[in-house]
Structure 1
Amino acid sequence: MHTDSAASAMTQDELKALVGRAALAYVEPGQVIGVGTGSTVNRFIDALAASKIAIAGAVSSSEASTLRLQAHGIPVFDANEVPELSVYIDGADEIEPGGCMIKGGGAALTREKIVAAQARRFICIADESKWVARLGRFPLPVEVIPMATQRLIRQFAALGGSARVRLRDGVPLVTDNGQHILDVTGLTIDDPLAFESMVNNWPGVVTVGVFAHQRAHLCLLGTPQGVRTIAFDAA
């Protein structure tokens, strides 16, 4: 673990901007990079555009990030056009000391997992409020096929969890993939890898928002003292 130059007391938004800029150190000219989704990633996209680093382009995990990249004149490729990405930069809703994460607060978890699997290195950028000892405080997002919703709610209840369909304007939110999101509370995830494998095998689950198979290699954590650079062994 390494701590960069000290910073005075900062707002959460300022911490997000701080780690967004710090991630530029892992971007090299000429590369195609993976870009995630969310408010922290938006800060990274803006910093990337301002930096004038001449990347070849990006593969994006959401329609929102695609639009933001294109607005800055950064080419966006379909994942099928790029055999491998040098690096994937994304945020997290929670990250624990092993580099496993909960993601999907922005409903892009499935595409985020696909792009992460394509990258040689996953750099997680987050403010210190996302650092936890164990996963489960943040409601766990699960992308599901709608016809399986009620059965999956019952399966999570059998584990002690309470699952609800995520709504937008009073109706179920529809993901970029045309599916719904369950948000599950009341779970403590002691073995993220086993939990991810189990839930992903439930019929009707598109993907669960535990990132253990595609966990982070490195976390840039924004703190009032600066950016903590945390490397995870054998990620």
Structure 2
Amino acid sequence: MTNQDNAKKLAGEASLSHIENGMTIGLGSGSTVYWMIRKLGEHARAGLDVKGIPSSWQSAAWANEYGVPLTDFSEAQKLDVAIDGADEVDGQWDLIKGGGGALAREKIIAAAARKFVVIVDESKLVSRLGDFKLPVEILPFGWEATAGQIAELDCNPILRCNDDNSVFVSDNGNYIVDCDFGAIQEPTTLHQQLKQLTGVVEDGLFPDMADEVIVGYHGRVEVLRG
């Protein structure tokens, strides 16, 4: 296991301190969340009574593999806690998410949770957001026009494609454009500007949403609380 994988594992497993019997949990996406779901499955198989709502088909597959019972929003509209990773976390705990393409469902889950816990390895900590290109989920119909509107906010939106050059399609059936805004000075303002554009489903900025950040380092974790 690499040092980075070890850091992700430690952060993911440390987040289980927030989980208690009877809880409904938002299951984020990504490689750090994998370790959380895997460990949560151990506890569930040992008798912990929990249910999860996954943010992606991949998270649902991991939950099924490791024995975490699943539910959906028809059964539970509020979640006790949501646990998810991030592609960047700045000093104010504003986030960029969506590298895996699940940003819309991740944001719905985070917004529905009483507590939103972010788990990352130390490489995701930044002084300012923007080195990671901002994912924006858009409707396929008229995507070129929507991308043009986004470009007017002073960026270069690139349609996300798979390795075989086919267009990447989110779990919601939408497209994603990855946008290089450079250093993002005002994440909340940019988020509001993007959300006002017709054709934009969701953007990967998560400003002022995290309640706690658990950072994994090689051999230890650090818990950041407000």
Same-fold call, TM > 0.5?
yes
Structure 1 consecutive aligned stretches of length 4 or more whose deviation exceeds 4 Å: none
Q: Which residue in 2 is equivalent to 1:116?
A: 110
Q: Which residue in 2 is equivalent to 1:7?
A: none
Q: Which residue in 2 is equivalent to 1:18?
A: 10
Determine which of 198, 207, 230 is the counterpart of 2:202: 207
1:14-61 CA distances to partner (integer Å, 9 max, x unpaired)? Answer: 100010111111111111111100111011101111234613211111
Percent identity over the alignment is: 38
Which whole-Å CA distance do the structure 2 matches of 1:97 and 1:152 have between them? 31
Q: Which residue in 1 is equivalent to 2:177?
A: 182
> How many Å apart are 1:225 and its aligned residue?
6.0
Matched, 1:28 2:20: yes
Determine which of 131, 141, 161 is the counterpart of 1:137: 131
> How many Å apart are 1:210 and its aligned residue?
0.3
Q: Which residue in 1 is equivalent to 2:88?
A: 94
Q: TM-score, normalised by structure 2?
A: 0.93
The question of whether the paired residues in 1 share the 8 Å contact of 2:28 and 2:54 is answered with yes
Q: Which residue in 2 is equivalent to 1:218?
A: 212
Which whole-Å CA distance do the structure 1 matches of 2:129 and 2:82 have between them? 22
Matched, 1:84 2:75: no
Q: Which residue in 2 is equivalent to 1:4?
A: none
Q: Which residue in 1 is equivalent to 2:65?
A: 71
Aligned length in residues: 223
Q: Which residue in 2 is equivalent to 1:6?
A: none
For residue 170 of structure 2, what is the amino acid of its counterpart?
A: T
| Deviates most, 191-200 or 49-58 | 49-58
Question: Judging changes above 3 Å, is the alpha-carbon distance between structure 1 residues 154 and 223 closer, same or farther for their aligned structure 2 residues?
Answer: same
Q: Structure 2 unaligned segments of length 5 or more: list them.
A: none
Matched, 1:173 2:200: no
Q: Which residue in 2 is equivalent to 1:128?
A: 122
Q: Which residue in 2 is equivalent to 1:41?
A: 33
The question of whether the paired residues in 1 share the 8 Å contact of 2:29 and 2:102 is answered with yes
The question of whether the paired residues in 2 share the 8 Å contact of 1:192 and 1:212 is answered with yes
Q: Structure 1 unaligned segments of length 5 or more: list them.
A: 1-9
The question of whether the paired residues in 2 share the 8 Å contact of 1:57 and 1:76 is answered with yes
Determine which of 94, 97, 100 is the counterpart of 1:103: 97
For residue 38 of structure 1, what is the amino acid of its counterpart?
A: G
1:61-111 CA distances to partner (integer Å, 9 max, x unpaired)? Answer: 111111110122221111231021110000000011111100000100000
The question of whether the paired residues in 2 share the 8 Å contact of 1:160 and 1:187 is answered with no
Q: TM-score, normalised by structure 1?
A: 0.90
Other structure's SS at 1:172 match: coil
The question of whether the paired residues in 1 share the 8 Å contact of 2:82 and 2:115 is answered with yes
Other structure's SS at 1:49 match: helix
1:174-204 CA distances to partner (integer Å, 9 max, x unpaired)? Answer: 1110111101114322111121111011000
The question of whether the paired residues in 1 share the 8 Å contact of 2:4 and 2:218 is answered with no
> How many Å apart are 1:154 and its aligned residue?
2.4
Q: Which residue in 2 is equivalent to 1:3?
A: none
Other structure's SS at 2:188 match: helix
Other structure's SS at 2:135 match: strand
For residue 79 of structure 1, what is the amino acid of its counterpart?
A: F
Other structure's SS at 2:210 match: coil
The question of whether the paired residues in 2 share the 8 Å contact of 1:141 and 1:208 is answered with yes
Other structure's SS at 2:77 match: coil
